[in-house]
Amino acid sequence: MSETPREMNIIGKRFWFFLISGAVILAGIIALIAFGLKPGIEFKSGTEVTISFSENATATKEKVTGALEELGYASGSFIVRAAGADYILDLPELNDAGKAALLSALAKVGDFKDGGFYTVSPLAAGQTVRNASIAVLVSAVVILLYLAWAFRRMPNPIRWGTCAIASLLHDVLVVIGVFAILSGIFGWQVDLMFVAAVLTVAGYSVNDTIVIYDRIREGVRRNPGAAFESVVNRSLVETMSRTLVTGLGTLFVLIALAIIVGGPIQNLVVVLLVGIVTGTYSSIGTAASLLVVWERGEWGRFIRRKASA
């Protein structure tokens, strides 16, 4: 290759990137099939009960939460909210035995009067996840069309949009797969925060990819005779410092969130963390490599390499 000796050869390692991505996504898919994604309390019908402790009971939210956890409820599978002096408990749907067990567990916290058990419909419509997914997919099509237009002066403009969307799906798949693994190990559930986090990751991914594609576009224009592969590699090296600075800057925000808010938004922070790392990795490792592979028509070769690896 014609680059100066100091230039990193990123594109040359493209098959390794694909291998790593493939392995992570495969692991995620296996976890998805094995554990599935468990819908959180927000998405299911549940039982709601209002508890009024008598005045001399020294109940606190922590004690109520503790009693529930002692009873075997996983953290995150129920919600306790203070409402004036009372507590509103949102729980998975309870049968009579479950109700009795709950009442005796709460009796240890203090004397109370319960406002009756009610079945409540889900907090968020069950279609929230489906609807958010449709929204992301439709906007992906629009992104594809816009990029095909923005790169219309390049040969094969539709490829750029397609590869950017492939990279977006890659990032979302990795995030969902990692979440499935975590939900298998720690019992994490899909809540509204998770949906918001995945939307954010999708946005970050597209932004990161476009910046690199923009640089490649400029490189192709300026070096009409150069091999596509080396133009892409040079663009990656030139934008590397920006990619890392932006990724690092975003990590600061997450670290601050994790340190100060912590607990209640651990899902959000972890999903975003995985998403930012994946987004940064994929825009360097796979998004640009996909363009090169397509340009050189290497799909067959890649499959053979993988088979022999």
Partner 1 sequence: MSRYTWYFLAVAVVLVLSLLILFPMDKGTLLGRPIKLGLDLQGGTRIVYKADLSSIPDSQKGKALDGAIAVLQNRINPLGVSEPNIRKLGADQILVEVPGKTLTDAEKDNLARVALLEFGEQVTDNGTYKWQDALGKWKPATGVVDNQTLELTSAYFQDNTYVTTGNLGQVLLIFNWDTIGSQLSEQITTRLYNASNAPLGIFEGDQPLVGEDGRPIAPSVQGIISDRGQIEGLSATEASRLSSQLNAGRLPIPLSRTSDERTVEPWLGAGFVTKSVRAGALAIAMTMLFLIVYYRISGLMASFALAYYAILTLAIFKVLTVTLSLSAIGGFILSVGMAIDANVLIFERMKEEMWAGRTVGAAIETGFSRAWTAIWDSHVTTLLSGLIIYWLGSSSFVASDIAKGFAVTLMIGVAVSLFSAITVTRTFLRPFVNTSFAANPSFFAPWQRKTNV
Residue 115 engages partner 1 in binding (rule: CB under 8 A): yes
Among 196, 226, 227, 277, binds partner 1 (CB under 8 A): 196
Please say which residue, 1 or 34, places its beta carbon nearer to partner 1.
1
Please say which residue, 107 or 244, places its beta carbon nearer to partner 1.
244
**What is the DSSP code (8-state) at residue 270?**
H
* CA distance readout (Å), 92 to 78, 118, 181, 189, 246: 7, 11, 23, 13, 41
Instruction: Tell me how far, at minimum, the Cβ of 110 lies from partner 1, in Å.
Output: 19
Contact 200, 275 (CB under 8 A): yes
Contact 236, 219 (CB under 8 A): no
DSSP string, 65-130: HHHHHHTTPPTTS-EEEEETTEEEEEEE---HHHHHHHHHHHHTT--EEEEEEEEE--SS-TTHHH
CA angle 232, 272, 141 (to 5 degrees): 55
Determine the size of the site formed for partner 1 (CB under 8 A). 74
Among 9, 75, 119, 156, binds partner 1 (CB under 8 A): 119
Residue 303 and residue 294: Cα distance in Å, rounded?
13
Please say which residue, 26 or 256, places its beta carbon nearer to partner 1.
256
What is the crossing angle of helices 266-282 and 228-260, to 10°?
Answer: 170
- What are the structure tokens assigned to 221, written together? 């224009």
Among 76, 98, 122, 126, binds partner 1 (CB under 8 A): 122
Instruction: Tell me how far, at minimum, the Cβ of 81 lies from partner 1, in Å.
Output: 5
Residue 245 engages partner 1 in binding (rule: CB under 8 A): yes
Q: How long a stretch of residues is the chain? A: 309
Interface stretch with partner 1, choices 21-29, 105-113, 123-131, 298-306 (CB under 8 A) = 123-131
Please say which residue, 174 or 197, places its beta carbon nearer to partner 1.
197
Residue 127 engages partner 1 in binding (rule: CB under 8 A): yes
Footprint of partner 1 on residues 148-167 (CB under 8 A)?
A: 150
Please list, in sequence order, all residues whose beta carbon lies within 8 angstroms of the beta carbon of residue 216, skipping any fewer than 6 positions away: 231, 232, 235, 288, 291
Residue 175 engages partner 1 in binding (rule: CB under 8 A): no
The interface mask with partner 1, positions 6-45, x = CB under 8 A, is x---------------------------------------
Residue 53 engages partner 1 in binding (rule: CB under 8 A): no
Instruction: Tell me how far, at minimum, the Cβ of 270 lies from partner 1, in Å.
Output: 14
Please list, in sequence order, all residues whose beta carbon lies within 8 angstroms of the beta carbon of residue 38, skipping any fewer than 6 positions away: 183, 187, 188, 189, 190
Residue 114 engages partner 1 in binding (rule: CB under 8 A): no
Residue 248 engages partner 1 in binding (rule: CB under 8 A): yes
Among 23, 100, 125, 303, binds partner 1 (CB under 8 A): 125
